[in-house]
């Protein structure tokens, strides 16, 4: 059976299993894809996703109808993911990018926590930060970002590359500062 978004939300508020299942089936795959960007361990990703959906079901009555429902779910699942990685310190590098070599990370990166990384992201120029957040945090692809922001796919890719470059520069500065203090 196909239910409207409003029917699913109201059914979940009433704790009705068929609507919870409909919500889960409709949104599980995109949430899992978002999480898989940060871990290659599918079991961990599924655990995080399920924890996130449990939080969604517990908080469903707080959805105000402002913004997209999927975006609201993404934020909750993302917070479940960040909570998991915060608890699992060995995964604290989940926001570090493939093109940032481990040997250049040094001890400074070990001292970074999620909040510190998010503060670095917050220092990016507005459009670059927005593209980065949509891509790296919310799990949108470049086509979707382009449609949301009224830019081309290639412009979205440029902003993402620019965000990575600027964050790498900020990490390098922090590493240099750390080395001077402890050197």
CB 82 within 8 A of CB 114: yes
pLDDT band at 127 (very low <50, low <70, confident <90, very high): very high
pLDDT in tens, 67-90: 889 999 999 998 898 888 767 644
The segment(s) of the chain belonging to CATH 1.10.10.10 are 94-182
Give the tokens for residue 40. 């290659």
Q: What is the pLDDT of residue 122?
A: 84
- Beta-sheet strands, E only, within the chain: none
Which H or E run contains 90? none
What pTM did the predictor assign?
A: 0.52
Residue positions counted in the chain: 183
Q: How far apart are CA 31 and CA 160, in angstroms?
A: 20
Lowest-confidence segment of 13-22, 30-39, 77-86, 92-101 by average pLDDT: 92-101
Q: Residue 153 above 70 pLDDT?
A: yes
Q: What is the pLDDT of residue 95?
A: 46
The alpha carbon of residue 118 and the mean position of all alpha carbons in its chain are separated, in whole angstroms, by 11
The segment(s) of the chain belonging to CATH 1.10.1740.10 are 5-87
Q: How far apart are CA 115 and CA 3, in angstroms?
A: 38
Q: Residue 114 above 70 pLDDT?
A: no
Q: Given this structure, which CATH class describes domain 94-182? A: mainly alpha
Lowest-confidence segment of 3-12, 22-31, 50-59, 93-102 by average pLDDT: 93-102
pLDDT in tens, 3-25: 999 999 999 999 999 999 999 99
Mean pLDDT across the chain: 81
Q: Is it true that domain 5-87 has CATH number 1.10.1740.10? A: yes
Q: Residue 110 above 50 pLDDT?
A: no
Pick from 85, 17, 12, 19: nearest CA to 48: 85
């Amino acid at each position: 059976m196909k239910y409207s978004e409003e029917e699913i939300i109201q059914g979940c508020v009433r704790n009705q299993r068929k609507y919870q299942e409909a919500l889960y089936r409709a949104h599980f795959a995109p949430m899992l894809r978002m999480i898989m960007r940060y871990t290659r361990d599918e079991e961990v990703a599924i655990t995080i996703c399920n924890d996130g959906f449990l939080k969604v079901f517990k908080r469903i009555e707080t959805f105000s109808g402002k913004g997209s429902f999927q975006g609201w779910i993404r934020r909750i699942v993302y917070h479940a993911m960040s909570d998991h990685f915060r608890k699992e310190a060995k995964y604290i590098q989940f926001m570090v990018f493939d093109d940032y070599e481990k040997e250049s990370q040094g001890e400074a990166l070990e001292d970074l926590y999620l909040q510190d990384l998010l503060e670095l992201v917050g220092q990016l120029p507005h459009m670059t930060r927005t593209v980065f957040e949509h891509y790296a945090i919310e799990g949108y692809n470049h086509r979707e970002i382009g449609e949301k922001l009224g830019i081309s796919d290639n412009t979205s890719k440029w902003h993402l590359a620019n965000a990575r470059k600027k964050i790498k520069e900020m990490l390098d500065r922090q590493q240099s500062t750390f080395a001077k203090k402890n050197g």
